[in-house]
Each structure stands twice: as structure tokens, then as C-alpha cells.
Homo-oligomer: A and B are copies of this chain.
Amino acid sequence: MRIVVLAGGIGGARFLRGLKQAAPDADITVIGNTGDDIHLFGLKVCPDLDTVMYTLGGGIDEEQGWGRADETFHVKAELAAYGVGPEWFGLGDRDFATHIVRTQMLGAGYPLSAVTEALCARWKPGVRLLPMSDDRVETHVAVEVEGERKAVHFQEYWVRLRASVDAQAVVPVGAEQAQPAPGVLEAIGEADVVLFPPSNPVVSIGTILAVPGIREAIAEAGVPVVGLSPIVGNAPVRGMADKVLAAVGVEATAGAVARHYGSGLLDGWLVDTTDVDTVGEVEAAGIRCRAVPLMMTDVDATAAMAREALALAEEVRA
């Protein structure tokens, strides 16, 4: 079975770990969000790709969900001693090596997809990890701070501001001119099922879908497309997805997110058992819906979620 998964960071990475357990023989291609990539200290940092790579490759800081296990922060402390920031972005020493290798390869002319493949040669994530695009896309968030409206990089909004101010708009700058990375459209075209993990529908999956050709390829693939709600009981399971959902005029409910994707894209939708009342509303929108436990408390629980998603896909197919 060939599965294509659109993934953001922590939520996507943890779901993939469950999916690998649920479908050990599946051929999994992950299309990773690169809209939250950022240049720091002259280095190219790809937080979502790295979170997937580290999580599936056994290098992740399990508690934190991002960054490397057994990490130290001497480079960052020294940069701060030179007065060089930002200090709000937590790059560890081991993590720095990844960005140094990536930046050096990009500088030598390799596209991000080739760089990602080279990095994965070490981590062996057990999936094929593709960036959504080799072109630069950078998610900016329009905010109003002290009466002044300005656009900040998504990482600044998410990490520095902790989404403490309202997002007035979320714009994946460069997406319209971006092309899907080599292999992305081919993987979708050959997939037996496409899954949307419980990742952020706006800044993770939404950004991937904003790359021209990807949404269309998924809609026209003629295979089941099944998603899992990142909203449980009218709140994001983790992160601050409600803030960016508001910016695109979508309520932070499991049902509203399904309708935001729409029946033209989505065939099946899993909501948490807490949100069983939503099932009728989603089905009325033309999307098959089931209520199952959606808390990724451990790998077994996550694998059960993945099995439910695959079962719903089979139901859709039949």
C-alpha cells in the first residue's frame, strides 16, 4: 500500500510514528511543510522537516517534541555573548550540525529535496521525506502590535510572541510562485490513500496545499483522502491552532476544520469521541465521519488512530 501523508511538525511526526507501526509494510511518502523554514545566523533551518526526520530517526527530544535528545546549547550561548540573536529560537549544538550541513549543500547548489534525502541517509526515518517545494516559501503572519499593523515571520509569531496577539492574516509568501518538489506530484498520483494527520490546518497542511498543483493533484487522484482532527473539544490538542484558524475565518471546532478542507478535497474525517455530536454536521457536508479516540498519548494509541484512518479510507473506497 502506498500512503502519502502531508505533515507539519510535532503532530505530523508523532502521527507518522503511529502510522509506521499500524502499517509496517506500507510505502509512505511524507510531503513536509517548509513554510516555517527560517534563516538564522546565516543558516537555513527547516523545523518541520527536521522534526519528522528526528522523530522517525530516533533523535528527537521526546518530551519537548522538537530538537535533539541529549542536547546542549553552547553555540547559542556564545552567539548571545556576541550580541547575536535571536535568543528566542532554541537551536541546540547537535541541531546546529544539521543546519550547517544543509546550508553548505544548498550553497553548493543542491536543491532542498536532495539535501533532505542526504540528511535522511543518516536518520533512516523509514519514510520518503519530501519538502513540499524546493522553492522558498515563508509563512508570514499579519499582526497588530501597539496599534501598528505589521507582518512577522511565522516563527516569530509562534515562538517569540507565543501567538499572544491575534493573527489578522496568514500569508505563505512565495507559495504562488513555488513548484512542488520533484516526486511530490508523482507520489500523490501513485498513492492508494492520502492522509492529513492532526497537524495545523492553516500553517502546516494549508501551506502545503497552497503550493500550486498539490491541492489539485490530491483532489483528482481518485483515491481516499482522510484527515484527523487536530481540534478536540473545541481546542487544539497542542499548539495554538485556534489563533491561525480565526485568521482564515474558521471556528476552532473539529467540524469547522473538516468543512474548511471541504468535500472536494476530503473524503473522510476522524473526530475525537468527545466531538461525537459533530459527526452529523460533517457527514451533512458530504464527508464521511467517525468519532474515535484522537489523543496521541503514546505510539500504541497513535497506531490505533492510524488504523482507524486507514479503515475509514477503505470504507470510502468501497
Within the oligomer, what is the number of copies of this chain?
2
User: Residue-by-residue, is A79-111 near B (CB-CB < 8 Å gives 1, otherwise 0)?
Assistant: 101111000000001101110110110010000
B residues less than 8 Å from A83 (CB atoms):
122
At the interface, is chain A mostly helix, strand, loop or mixed? helix
* Among A74, A94, A98, A122, residue most surrounded by chain B Cβ atoms (within 10 Å): A74
Does A42 interact with chain B (Cβ within 8 Å)?
A: yes
Would B75 and A100 count as touching, CB distance under 8 A? Answer: yes
B residues less than 8 Å from A84 (CB atoms):
100-101, 104
**Known contacts A82-B119, A97-B82, A122-B83; A104 and B41 CB within 8 A of each other:** yes
B residues less than 8 Å from A100 (CB atoms):
41-43, 75, 79, 84
| Complex Cα gap A98–B93 (Å) | 14
Complex A-B: 24 CB contacts under 8 Å: A41-B100, A41-B101, A42-B100, A42-B107, A43-B100, A72-B93, A74-B93, A74-B94, A74-B97, A75-B93, A76-B97, A77-B94, A78-B94, A78-B96, A78-B97, A79-B101, A81-B122, A82-B98, A82-B119, A82-B122, A83-B122, A84-B100, A93-B93, A96-B96
